């Protein structure tokens, strides 16, 4: 999408490539849940990556006269399958980098495969802090860590919503439990009383017994750490039981499926996510091509792909290590929500972040 920014890089490549024989493609991968209950999230991530690749191929003929080939793999959101598909990607000839995975539970074991093969990995969705604490020089993320998001969410609950009591529910996953723990700890530091901290099982449909217990506690706010399917069911069932507390959840809930599950019961619902302009070129193009608004991690996937492709160009598509080196140098990259720079661990510095409410069947930025 932002290939214009790198035109000087490509001009030299295109001149050198003129008159030459057809070259082998440059290969990148995207790993996400493309089947199962999280398929809509994963499909939007793959679609965002595909848009960037298609733009680059169509407008400047790829890099150095070599078209970009995208390999899409389905990790099912599973740690075991993530390892299997990561091995497939690193064994693919010409593979220079991977966008993925989405689930922290998938990224953590897969990152070891990429590290052993020296393949760059940029995750657009895994927030668990442990991912970038492993000392792997090839692992990066464009989304904020759970410890940072946990602090921001706690501040919002305590200072913006002015809640004094909170009930916390999580889905027991590396993502959901991780962010819930940071929200809990930060709320306590802010003097907010956490009345309940309990987990549910991914795939369950009926949370009324737990919600009846929550209702009896009379919290000002209910926070959920997890993804949109359980989030939508939890919130809608809470409203059916007459629990009218504020409902807050993280980026994993910022998905059209949540809006559909709520069925209009969207009052006092606050969801965090990327601070991306709704009229950005990416959002408009995505909706035009795919006929729906991008999912929660699609904008992050767009930024991750653009960084990877630019780094491949700067490295002259030489080898995997050169690409990793260029990604690590990323400073003030013009991401959708603001500048992206990586620190020494591979984390995005001050990853853009804001809260959304639901209006007109869409997520719109929360205004105080």
Question: Which phi-psi region, left, alpha or beta, contains residue 224 (left: φ > 0; alpha: ψ -120 to 50)?
Answer: beta
pLDDT of residue 11: 46
pLDDT band at 12 (very low <50, low <70, confident <90, very high): very low
Write down the mean pLDDT value for the chain: 92
pLDDT of the residue at 316: 94
**Low-confidence winner among 43-47, 111-115, 196-200, 282-286 (lowest mean pLDDT):** 282-286
Q: For the chain, what is the largest distance between any 2 Cα atoms, rounded to a whole number of angstroms?
A: 75
Give buried/exposed letters for 183-210 (b at 16+ CB in 10 A, else e). bbebbeeeebebbbbebbebeeeebeeb
Domains parsed from the chain with CATH numbers:
3-143+277-340 (3.40.50.2300), 147-273 (3.40.50.2300)
pLDDT at 277 over 70: no
Q: How far is CA 247 from the centre of its chain?
A: 21
- Residue 361's pLDDT is 87
Q: What is the pLDDT of residue 214?
A: 98
Q: How far apart are CA 10 and CA 146, in angstroms?
A: 37
Query: Is the pLDDT assigned to residue 3 strictly greater than 90?
Result: no
pLDDT in tens, 302-334: 999 999 999 999 999 989 999 999 999 999 999
Q: How far is CA 268 from the centre of its chain?
A: 24
Q: Check residue 83 and give its pLDDT.
A: 99
> How high is the pLDDT of residue 88?
99
Is pLDDT above 90 for 9? Answer: no
Mean pLDDT of 264-272: 93
* Res. 16 pLDDT band, cuts 50 70 90: very low
pLDDT band for position 280 (cuts 50, 70, 90): confident
Helix (H) or strand (E) holding 210: helix 208-217
Q: pLDDT higher for 36 or 14?
A: 36
Please give the Cα distance from 25 to 56 (Å, whole number).
13
Percentage of the chain beyond pLDDT 90 is 82
pLDDT reported for residue 278: 60
Residue 270 near residue 357 (C-beta atoms within 8 A): yes
What distance in Å separates the CA atoms of residue 41 and residue 44, rounded to the nearest whole number?
5
* Residue 18 pLDDT level (bands cut at 50, 70, 90): very low
Stretch 122-145: mean pLDDT, rounded?
A: 96
pLDDT for residue 273? 87
What is the C-alpha separation between 23 and 67, in angstroms, rounded? 8
Strand order of the β-sheet with 269-273 is 193-199, 165-170, 221-225, 246-249, 269-273, 354-359, 362-365
Order across the sheet with 68-74: list the strands.
68-74, 26-32, 95-99, 120-123, 139-141
Q: Over the stretch 218-244, which tens digit does the pLDDT of each residue have?
A: 999 999 999 999 999 999 999 999 999
Alpha helices in 104-197 (DSSP H): 104-117, 146-155, 174-189
**Where residue 351 falls among pLDDT bands split at 50, 70, 90?**
confident
Q: What is the DSSP track for 3-63?
A: GGGGHHHHHHHHHHHTTPPPPPPEEEEEEE--SSTTHHHHHHHHHHHHHHHHHHHHHH-SB
Query: ∠ CA 18-19-21 to the nearest 5 degrees?
Result: 110
Q: How confident is the model at residue 23 (pLDDT cuts 50, 70, 90)?
A: confident
Q: Which of 232, 86, 245 is nearest to 162 (CA)?
A: 245
Q: How does pLDDT run across 54-64, given as a tens digit for each residue?
A: 999 999 999 99
CB 309 within 8 A of CB 56: yes
Task: Pick the range with the lowest mean pLDDT from 82-96, 126-140, 142-156, 266-280.
Answer: 266-280
Q: Supply the DSSP string of 237-302, one letter for each residue.
A: HHHHTT--SEEEE-GGG-SHHHHHHHTT--TTEEEEE----TT-HHHHHHHHHHSS---TTHHHHH
* Cα separation, 124 vs 122, whole angstroms: 7
pLDDT for the residue numbered 53: 98
User: Is residue 21 very low, low, confident or very high in pLDDT (cuts 50, 70, 90)?
Assistant: very low
Taking 90 as the threshold, does the pLDDT of residue 131 lie above it? yes
- Between 22 and 241, name the one with better pLDDT: 241
Give me the phi and psi of 343, to 5 degrees please.
-90, -175
pTM summary value: 0.88
Q: What's the chain's length in residues?
A: 368
């Amino acid at each position: 999408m932002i290939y214009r920014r790198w035109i000087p890089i490509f001009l030299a490549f295109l001149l050198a490539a003129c008159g030459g024989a057809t070259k082998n493609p440059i290969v990148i991968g995207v790993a996400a849940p493309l089947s199962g209950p999280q398929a809509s999230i994963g499909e939007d991530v793959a679609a965002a990556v595909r848009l960037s690749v298609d733009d680059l191929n169509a407008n400047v003929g790829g890099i150095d006269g070599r078209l970009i080939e995208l390999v899409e793999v389905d990790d099912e959101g599973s740690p075991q399958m993530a390892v299997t598909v990561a091995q497939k990607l690193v064994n693919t000839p010409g593979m220079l980098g991977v966008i993925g995975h989405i689930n922290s539970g998938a990224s953590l074991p897969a990152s070891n495969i990429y590290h052993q093969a020296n393949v760059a990995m940029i995750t657009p969705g895994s927030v668990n802090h442990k991912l970038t604490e492993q000392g792997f020089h090839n692992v990066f993320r464009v989304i904020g860590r759970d410890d940072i998001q946990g602090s921001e969410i706690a501040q919002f609950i305590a200072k913006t919503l002015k809640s004094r009591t909170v009930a916390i529910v999580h889905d027991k996953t590396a993502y959901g439990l991780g962010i819930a723990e940071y929200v809990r700890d930060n709320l306590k530091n802010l003097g907010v009383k956490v009345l309940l901290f309990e987990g549910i099982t991914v795939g369950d449909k009926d949370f009324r017994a737990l919600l009846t217990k929550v209702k009896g506690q009379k919290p000002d706010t209910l926070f959920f750490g997890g993804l949109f399917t359980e989030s939508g069911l939890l919130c809608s069932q809470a409203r059916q039981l007459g629990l009218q507390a504020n409902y807050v959840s993280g980026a994993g809930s910022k998905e059209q499926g949540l809006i559909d599950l709520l069925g209009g019961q969207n009052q006092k619902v606050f969801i965090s996510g990327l601070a991306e302009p709704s009229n950005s070129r990416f959002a408009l193009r995505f909706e035009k091509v795919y006929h729906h608004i991008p999912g929660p991690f699609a904008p992050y996937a767009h930024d991750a792909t653009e960084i990877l492709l630019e780094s491949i160009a700067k490295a002259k598509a030489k080898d995997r290590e050169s690409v990793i080196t260029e990604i690590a140098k990323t400073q003030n990259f013009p991401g959708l929500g603001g500048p992206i720079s990586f620190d020494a661990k591979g984390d995005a510095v001050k990853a853009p972040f804001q809260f959304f409410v639901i209006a007109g069947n869409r997520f719109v930025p929360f205004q105080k």
